């Protein structure tokens, strides 16, 4: 009898020690103290013993019963406690230094876009938007670029249908606005453009342009020049020099490309300007009379200028960035610098 009780004590203690969930404890209770439990059976059989032995064995068995019960309830408390700690997110060390929240900021291109746009908004231009999915008519034909025009080769496009494409430039916004409104107009538009260019240090298939144009009576090349001077000097600094180079765009006549004195070497010649001292920043010109006629204006009565620029290119020149792909790789080490 004594040995049997001792064995139960050892077994039960070991099982209780090992138990890791509350349900196991209930099983152990049933196994020893339940109606058919091992200890219960023993107690029931006490009647078969000698009276002298009986009372001693009874005391021992009851002791053991209390022992097991108290072990069980201790362990139950322990497991409850542990469960609660897990639930409360155990392991929170309130003495650890806090984590700095990562503070978001505008993407450098968004910032550059805003900076450019703000300059024109201050001068009374209104902001217009056009669709990124454009018809071939607005993107090319209405801009004096018929389908057999070689200029189309330089703007290899993503076609979504026969006559629908992702716009290759923001210039179609000129047409959309002029169709709807009568002069005088001073408009700026900005947004994404798309071309089928393989990505390299100076090309990405998606990029941003800003388009600016003004139409009124007696707008001359002098107005274009004046506006560009104000713009370039607000953006790159008062000492920046401007140079116009004759060029060609189908929707402007005459057309000019605009260079600024190199923002890095101030015109002395460096690797950024390839020793030329000048950087090309945008295309411009007087709106072609054909374009004015297309939107129903009379070129004898009104005239206008237009210019357009790549936002990435401007940001690259401004911040000395040598690879356009950096803007779109989303590497925080790059983006955090702005
Ligand atoms: N859209 C032209 C391009 O992507 C840039 C441009 C040139 C826009 C002359 C103009 C302009 O408005 O007058 O190459």
**Gap from CA of 244 to ligand 1 centroid (Å):** 14
**Gap from CA of 228 to ligand 1 centroid (Å):** 14
Model-level pTM? 0.72
- Token digits of residue 190: 């900005």
pLDDT in tens, 244-274: 999 999 999 999 999 999 988 888 888 888 8
pLDDT in tens, 68-109: 889 889 988 988 888 887 777 766 778 889 888 888 899 999
**HSE toward the beta carbon, residue 12, CA cutoff 13 A:** 28
Give the closest residue (by CA) to ligand 1 atom 12.
307
**Gap from CA of 249 to ligand 1 centroid (Å):** 7
SS3 content of the chain, % helix, strand, coil (to 5): 45, 20, 35
Give the closest residue (by CA) to ligand 1 atom 6.
308
List C-alpha distances in Å: 300 to 252, 292, 293, 297, 303: 16, 10, 10, 9, 8
List the chain residues with pLDDT less than 70: 90-91
């Amino acid at each position: 009898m004594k040995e049997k009780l001792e064995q139960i004590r050892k077994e039960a203690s070991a099982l209780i020690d090992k138990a890791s969930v509350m349900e196991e404890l209930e099983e152990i209770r049933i196994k020893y103290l339940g109606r058919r439990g091992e200890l219960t059976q023993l107690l029931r059989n006490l009647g078969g013993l000698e009276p002298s032995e009986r009372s001693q064995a009874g005391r021992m068995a009851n002791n053991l019963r209390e022992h097991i019960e108290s072990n069980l309830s201790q362990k139950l408390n322990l497991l409850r406690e542990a469960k609660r700690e897990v639930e409360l997110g155990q392991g929170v060390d309130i003495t650890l230094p806090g984590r700095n929240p990562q503070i978001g900021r505008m993407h450098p291109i968004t910032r550059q876009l805003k900076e450019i746009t703000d300059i024109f908004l201050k001068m009374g231009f209104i902001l217009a938007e056009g669709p990124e999915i454009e018809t071939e008519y607005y993107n090319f034909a209405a801009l004096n670029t018929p389908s057999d025009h070689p200029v189309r080769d330089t703007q290899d496009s993503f076609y979504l249908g026969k006559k629908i494409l992702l716009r290759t430039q923001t210039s179609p916004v000129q047409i959309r606005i002029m169709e709807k409104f009568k002069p005088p107009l001073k408009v700026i538009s900005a947004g994404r453009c798309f071309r089928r260019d393989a990505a390299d240090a100076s090309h990405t298939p998606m990029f941003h342009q800003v388009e600016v144009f003004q139409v009124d009576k007696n707008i001359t090349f002098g107005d274009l020049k004046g506006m560009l001077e104000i713009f370039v000097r607000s953006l790159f600094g008062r000492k920046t020099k401007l140079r116009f180079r004759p060029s060609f765009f189908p929707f402007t006549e005459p057309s000019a490309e605009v260079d600024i004195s190199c923002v890095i070497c101030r015109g002395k010649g460096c690797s950024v300007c390839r020793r030329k001292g000048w950087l090309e920043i945008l295309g411009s010109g007087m709106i072609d009379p054909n374009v004015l006629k297309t939107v129903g204006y009379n070129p004898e009565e009104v005239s206008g200028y237009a210019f357009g620029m790549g936002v990435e290119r401007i940001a690259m020149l401004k911040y000395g960035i040598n690879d356009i792909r950096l803007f779109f790789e989303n590497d925080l080490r790059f983006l955090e610098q702005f």
